[in-house]
Structures are given as C-alpha cells and as structure tokens.
Amino acid sequence: MQRTLLLLLALVTTGCIGAYQTAPVSPVAAGDLVPRMTDPDAGLVALDPTFDARAYTVLLVDRFEVSASEVKDDEDRQLAARLSPLFVTELIARARAAGLFDRVVNLSETTYTPADGVRALRLEGGLTRLNAGNRALRYVVGFGAGASKAQIETRMVDVATGKVVLVTADRREAAFGMFGGDSEEHLREAVSDSARDFVKYLARLKASGSMSSTAGATGGAAVTAALAAGGTWRDPDGRSVLKIAAASASLTWELETRDSRVAATASGHSSSYRAAGTGTASNDEIVLKGRITGGDAYTMNRPLELTLTRDGKYLRGTAIGPRNVPFSVEFERTP
C-alpha cells in the first residue's frame, strides 16, 4: 500500500508520465533496406550485412525536416520548426559525449568534406509522422486517447560510396500528464528520447561493428553470463514468474505477474500481466527489454525494462513499466 501511495504521489507532483515506444507506421525503405527487425532502442532497423560501424571515424548529421504531409497549418509549421532541430541537437550532443566518433559535424551549421582516407557516415532523415494529439481527450478519456505522436526515420549513408548502410524507424507516443499534459512538451520528450536511444543503438554498433551488437557483449564471458542467467526465477511473494532462455550470448525472456506495479498505476487495471522480449548479460548484470503481451487496454504492447544484478541464486534490481516509474524487484531461482 505504501509503495502504491508513493507512485500516486509521484504522478500528482510531477504531472508527467513520459513518452513510450510503439510500433512504427509504414516505414519507408532506403536503398535496398527496409526496416523490419525490432531493436529495443532504435525501433525497427535494417542493416547492410557488409557494414562495420567500427571502420568510421566521422559522423555528419544532416538537417532533419518534418514531412510536408504532417504540416497542415501555421501552428504545425511552428511546431515542426522547433522539433526538427531538437532531434539533431540532442543526437549530436549525445554522440559527442559518448565519444563514438573522432568528429561529429552538424551540417545545418557548417559544410564538411572528409579528407582522403577518412571514413565518414552521413545521417539523414526526418519526422515522417507528427501529431500533437488532443489534450482534452487525454484528460477526459485516457487510455491513450488523444496521444501526441512522433515518428522519426533515419538512413545512414557511406559518404565515399553513397550507399545506404542502415535505416531505422522509431515511433514514440505520450498520453499522460497533469490534466492531459502539454502537447508540445509531450512531443519534445518523444523526440529527445528517440535521439537518446538512437545514440545508444549506435554505441552498440560501434562496440561490435554489426547487428550482432543487439546480442550485447560478445565472447566467452558474455556466453557464460547468459547461460548463468537462464532458468526460471520467482519473486518472494509468488506474484511473478520470470523465465529466461539463453542462446549463445543473447537472452529471450517471458514474465507472468500479478504485480500491478508493472502498469505503474495507482490502482492497477488488470489482475495479471504477461511480457516478453530479449536481453543481454555481461558479468553479473542482466538487462531485459521487451513489451507487455497480455494485460489490459492500457498496458498492451507497452514497454517493460528490467535491469538486474545476479547474486548467487537471486536476481535483484529495478523494473520500469509503461509509465516510466521505476520500482524494485527481486527474483529467486527455482529448481
């Protein structure tokens, strides 16, 4: 009861729940690539099989625009003019801070031609879907009605050859906040989160070079960590059963729970939830990302992430449900 009251207090005092990732709508192909593979950070992706991100030292980030079909009036134009630069600015700042490339260039501000022998990538794309939503519907109806929505699609081009080596499509929605929340603030958060997670995806690519990075760390240590995480785990109260399967260095998982904190609501809309996804294991840390596959209308297909540390027969850590409210979890391995 105390934890539920704390969650309710957090919702009342912050008035904001956060943007969440949803399935992209009709993503566009670029070159020979169509984004179809699900990635926990970047949304839908497609990668040229010969692409090795480690070979590139320069990233050029082009101007991003909102698709003309999404701009219907002056208000839309003003919103588009603020959101497009936000994505570029956030992405560049995060890529520079992460040290993923020797140089990250904003092509909106300057021109740049790589020197001979310097391998460079150019990031292009735009906001292909943009809908401010309806604040009144969010407040009065709820359950995702009137949500603010943004879909960002990218393509990465090898500057020397002009070949498209990577495409992504990421869609974010936000529908909760004090009295429905401000539409522009919802969209700014969605765009910012998308930039953040795209850089996380790039970091994984730079670490291993190719799509195999979605499996997390490579090598014998990662395989050992993944195998150690496999099995069935239950929480002390018997509310949740977590099943983890290990294949090489990657994990798949399923969770069945009667814990209403999965929905991160004050009362809980359903008596039970199911979720599934993929994960990574490195040393004693396990990160599981996925979506809710069974529950109520609010939680269905919403994200769920667990960050756990293995301590002998226990897994302890934090879970974050659809409303971005973290809560502590503990599981014990069962025979």
**Domain range summary for the chain, segments of one domain joined by +:** 12-214, 216-333
CA–CA distance from 206 to each of 118, 192, 214 (Å)?
A: 16, 21, 11
How confident is the model at residue 66, as a pLDDT?
92
How would you label 147-169 residue by residue, b for 16+ Cβ within 10 Å and e otherwise? bbbbbbbbbbbbbeeeebbbbbb
Kindly report, residue by residue over 109-131, the tens digit of the pLDDT.
999 999 999 999 999 999 999 88
How confident is the model at residue 259, as a pLDDT?
79
Of the candidates 170, 220, 240, the one whose C-alpha atom is nearest the C-alpha of residue 27 is: 170
- Strand-pair category, 37-39 with 43-47: antiparallel
Q: Highest mean pLDDT range out of 14-18, 28-32, 72-76, 270-274?
A: 28-32
Mean of the pLDDT values across residues 47-72?
Answer: 92
pTM of the entire predicted model: 0.59
The CATH class for the domain spanning 12-214 reads alpha beta
Of the candidates 125, 15, 139, the one whose C-alpha atom is nearest the C-alpha of residue 60 is: 125
Q: Are 224 and 251 in contact (CB under 8 A)?
A: no
On the question of pLDDT at 135 being above 80, the answer is no
Kindly report, residue by residue over 211-261, the tens digit of the pLDDT.
443 433 344 566 677 777 889 999 988 889 999 987 656 788 999 988 777
The burial of 74, by beta-carbon neighbours within 10 Å (0-12 exposed, 13-18 middle, 19 or more buried), is given as exposed
Give the residue with greater pLDDT, 174 vs 91: 91
As a whole-number percent, the residues of the chain with pLDDT over 90 amount to 39
How confident is the model at residue 18, as a pLDDT?
57
How confident is the model at residue 320, as a pLDDT?
86
How confident is the model at residue 270, as a pLDDT?
56
How confident is the model at residue 103, as a pLDDT?
97
Structure tokens at 15: 């008035």
Of the candidates 234, 240, 286, the one whose C-alpha atom is nearest the C-alpha of residue 262 is: 240
> What is the average pLDDT score of the chain?
80
Q: How confident is the model at residue 325 (pLDDT cuts 50, 70, 90)?
A: confident
How confident is the model at residue 217, as a pLDDT?
39
On the question of pLDDT at 7 being above 70, the answer is no
How confident is the model at residue 210, as a pLDDT?
54
How confident is the model at residue 263, as a pLDDT?
63
How confident is the model at residue 55, as a pLDDT?
94
Q: In whole angstroms, what separates CA 142 from the centre of its chain?
A: 23
On the question of pLDDT at 144 being above 80, the answer is no
Kindly report, residue by residue over 183-213, the tens digit of the pLDDT.
788 888 999 999 999 999 999 888 875 544 3
The burial of 35, by beta-carbon neighbours within 10 Å (0-12 exposed, 13-18 middle, 19 or more buried), is given as buried
Place domain 216-333 in its CATH homologous superfamily.
Answer: Quinohemoprotein amine dehydrogenase alpha subunit, domain 2 (2.40.128.120)
Mean of the pLDDT values across residues 147-163?
Answer: 93
